[in-house]
Structure 1
Amino acid sequence: MPADPAASEPCGVRASSSPSSSPGGRGQVDPVAREVDDLLAAARENGSFSAAAWAAGSSAGVQRSGRVGTPSRQDPRPIGPDALFDLASVTKPIVALTLLRLVDRGLLALDTRVGEALEDWPDTPITRADLRSLLTHTSGAPGPTPLWREHADRDSFLHALAHLEFTDPGTWRYSSMGFIALGLVAERATGLPLDELVAREITHPLDMHETRFGPVDPARAVATEDCPWRGRLVRGTVHDENAVVLGAPAGHAGLFGTAHDLGLLAGALLCGELLAPELQRAMLGAEDGRPLGWWPREQCTYLGEGFGDRAFGHTGFTGTGLVLDPSRDSWYCLLANRIHPSRNSQGFEEVRAAFHELLARDRTTSPPPG
C-alpha cells in the first residue's frame, strides 16, 4: 500500500506561501520569487504569453509562488490564483498515475498488452504493446500524429489509431498516440469514464479541487490559440485537436488546472503517498532510468546542472510544465499560455530554462509551521 503521509516529516506537512512571499518569514520580500516574477513579466512584455502562474516547493508543500499577466491579450483583468490553464500534455503523467493506481489494485499489470484490455480491437502493433512500453515511450508508437486532419469523428479516429504503424521498439520516442490508448485501457479495465477515474484516483484524494477535464468556465480559463481550424479564440475548451475529435476525456491532453494543484501532486509523489513502494520505485525509473509516465532527465533539455540525474518532468504544448527532483526533495511548476494568441510566439523555451535555473540556484526552504 502507499506510504502513510503522516509517518515521517516533512511529508506530513502541507505548507504554502503567497506570491513573492519569503520562505524566511511572513511579510518579507523573497528576492528569488521577485526575480522569477520579473523574468516572467519581461517575457510577457516580449510576447511570449499573456499569463503565467508558477510555484515551487518540496515534499512539505509550496514554498514560493507567483503569477503575472491577464487571461488573454483582450482581457485586461489580472489573473487570480484560481485561473485555470489548459495543461495539455501534462495530462499524460496524471493519467499514467491513474493507471498505476489500477496496477496497484491488481486490475492491470505493467506487462498487460493493450489487446488484452481492448479485446475487440484488431491484432495490430498497438494492441501488442504493453503498458510499460507505452508509459515509457519505448513501444515504437509514432510521434506527433495529427489524425484529426483526416478523421473528423471518434469512430474514424479510433480505427486509424488501432492501425498505426510502429517502428524501432525499445527506442525512446515521445508519443501521444500511446497515451490515448492507455486512457482507453483504463476505462475498459474499470468500466468508468476517464474523468471519473482521474478524480477518484488522483485529484479527489489529493484535494486537487481545481484540476478537471474541460470544458471549464471560460471566465476562469486562460485563453490559448486564436485557432484558424476552429475559427475562434480557444478559452475553456481543450486546445489539442486530436482531443477535440475524440470528443471525450482522453489520455494525452484535456486537463485544466492550477500551479497550486500540481504542487499538491508533486508533494504527494515525493512523499510516496500514491503508490505502493515497489511501484513507486518503478515510477521513479529505478529499474532502467525511465520514469513511468514522465520524461527522463535527458529528455528535459531545459534543466541545467542544478538538477540531479534522477530528475524528471513533463511539459505541455500550451506552455505548461512540472518537474520533480527527488534527490533534492524539490519540485517546480510553470504554467503559461505560450500559444496565445498564436503558436508562433518566440523565446518561451529560453524563459522556461531560465525559470528552472533561477529556482534551482536557490534551494532555501521554509521551516514547517508549528
Structure 2
Amino acid sequence: MQDLLDRARGDGQFSAAAWAMGSSAGMHRRGEVGTFARDDQRPIGPDAQFDLASVTKPIVGLALLRLVDRGALDLGATVGEVLEDWPQGPMARADLRSLLTHTSGAPGPTPLWRAHEGRAELLQALAELEFTAPGSWRYSSMGFIVLGLVAERVAGMSLDQLVAREITEPLGMASTGYGPVPADRAVATEDCPWRGHVVRGEVHDENAVVLGGIAGHAGLFGTADDLGLLGTALLRGELFGPGTDRAMQGADDGRPLGWWPREQCSYLGDDFGPQAFGHTGFTGTSLVIDPAADRWFVLLANRVHPSRELRGFDLVRTAFHETVGGTSP
C-alpha cells in the first residue's frame, strides 16, 4: 500500500495521503505518505487533518438519523413540513428519505456561489432549483445542504454542535469537526483562483464558503484514524437501534441512507459484495463500509493540490481498493 501511494505521489497525484483499514474489532493497519503541501515539506503524521469534502454528507446523515432513531423526526416528512418558512417549490416538496438516498430528483453539484455571494441569497437560489422526476438515483449536494438545515431545526442547535454531540464526541473522534482548523495541522488543498491563495485549514467547497463553512454537504475536517473509529462503530451497530441501522445500510432495499449504494461505487472491485456502501469527496477522500465482510477502508488525499486539474486520481482510488479488497482487515 505504501508503495502504491508513494508512486502516486511521485506522479503528482497529491502531496499527502493517509489510509487505514479495519473491522468491528478496530484498526488493523494504517499509514501515511507525503507532506502537508508542495511548499511545506514537513511529513504528515497520524494527526494531519484533511478536508473531508463530501464525506461530510454521510456523517451529517448519521447525525440526522440519530434524531430519527429517537423519534424526533420522520423520514417521510417533507422539507416544507419541517422548515415551515422554506420557499414553496420542488425542494419544499421533497421528503427526507429521498434526499438521503439521492432519489429526490434534486440537481447535482451546482456552483451557486458564482452568482450568489451571501448565505440568504444562495439558499433562496437553492430553493428555486428545478428537479427531475423522483425515483432514480441522482447524486445531489443541494439536497444535503437542506438536510443540514433540517437537522439544525429539529435539534435546536447549529450543525457543528449537532455533529459533535451525536457522532464525533461519543465515538472519540477528537480530530474531526468543522473548520477552520489550525493551518499547521491541515493538509493543503487548492491554490484557489477565486480566493487568491492556497486553501489550507478552511473549507475548499465554494458553496460551503458562502454558507459560512458549516454545511450539510461539506465542511468537515478529519483524520484517517478518526474515520476508522466511525467505521468500527458502524460495523458494531453502536449508533442506532436495529431498524434504523438496517435502513442506514440499505439492507432491505439497496438504498443506504446518506451513502452511495454499491452499484454507484465504481471504484470497488469484485472483492466487495452487494451490501458494501461508501462515499467519496472531491478533495480525494473516501470511506467504505463492507458489512458482510466485517471491514472498513479509509483513503484521504489532497488530490486538488495544487489544482483541481484531473490527473488520474480515480485510478489511484480504484487501485487502492483493489489492493485492500483482496486482503483481510
Normalization by structure 2: what TM-score? Answer: 0.99
Q: CA deviation at 1:248?
A: 4.2
Equivalence for 2:307: 342
Distance 2:60 2:85 in 1: 22
The answer as to whether partners of 1:314 and 1:321 remain within 8 angstroms in 2 is yes
Equivalence for 1:257: 222
Q: 1:351 aligned to 2:324?
A: no
Equivalence for 1:270: 235
Equivalence for 1:237: 202
Q: 1:282 aligned to 2:247?
A: yes
**Aligned pairs, how many?**
329
Distance 1:286 1:60 in 2: 21
Equivalence for 1:117: 82
- The residue type equivalent to 2:142 in the other structure is M
Q: 1:143 aligned to 2:123?
A: no
Q: Evaluate the alpha carbon distance shift between residue 248 and residue 46 of structure 1 in structure 2; reply closer, same or farther with a 3 A threshold.
A: closer
Distance 1:291 1:360 in 2: 20
Equivalence for 2:186: 221
Cα deviations across residues 166-220 of structure 1 (Å, max 9, x unaligned)? 1121110000000000000011112100000000000000000000000000000
Q: 1:159 aligns with which of 100, 107, 124?
A: 124
Can you give the 5+ residue segments of structure 2 that lack an aligned partner in the other structure? none
Distance 2:120 2:47 in 1: 36
Distance 1:178 1:123 in 2: 15
Q: CA deviation at 1:122?
A: 2.0
Equivalence for 1:201: 166
Q: CA deviation at 1:161?
A: 1.0
Q: 1:308 aligns with which of 273, 278, 281?
A: 273
Cα deviations across residues 42-82 of structure 1 (Å, max 9, x unaligned)? 10000000000000010111100100000000001100110
- The residue type equivalent to 1:143 in the other structure is G
Distance 2:93 2:70 in 1: 23
Which has the greater radius of gyration? Answer: 1
Distance 2:163 2:141 in 1: 18
Distance 1:73 1:122 in 2: 45
Distance 1:191 1:281 in 2: 27
The answer as to whether partners of 2:179 and 2:213 remain within 8 angstroms in 1 is no
- The residue type equivalent to 2:117 in the other structure is A
The runs of at least 4 aligned residues of structure 1 exceeding 6 Å deviation read none
Equivalence for 1:32: none
Q: How does 1:172-187 map to 2 (within 5 A)?
A: 172-187=137-152
Q: 2:46 aligns with which of 67, 81, 96?
A: 81
Distance 1:262 1:211 in 2: 8
Equivalence for 2:212: 247
Cα deviations across residues 269-316 of structure 1 (Å, max 9, x unaligned)? 011000110010001102310100000001000000010111000000
Distance 2:205 2:240 in 1: 29
The answer as to whether partners of 2:26 and 2:232 remain within 8 angstroms in 1 is yes
Equivalence for 1:362: 327
SS of 1:305's equivalent? coil
The answer as to whether partners of 2:107 and 2:138 remain within 8 angstroms in 1 is yes
Distance 1:85 1:221 in 2: 6
SS of 1:52's equivalent? strand
The answer as to whether partners of 1:227 and 1:234 remain within 8 angstroms in 2 is yes
Q: How does 1:23-34 map to 2 (within 5 A)?
A: none
The answer as to whether partners of 1:55 and 1:263 remain within 8 angstroms in 2 is yes
- The residue type equivalent to 1:308 in the other structure is G
Q: 1:56 aligned to 2:21?
A: yes
SS of 1:70's equivalent? strand
Equivalence for 2:289: 324
The answer as to whether partners of 1:97 and 1:293 remain within 8 angstroms in 2 is yes
Distance 2:86 2:285 in 1: 33
Distance 1:287 1:137 in 2: 17
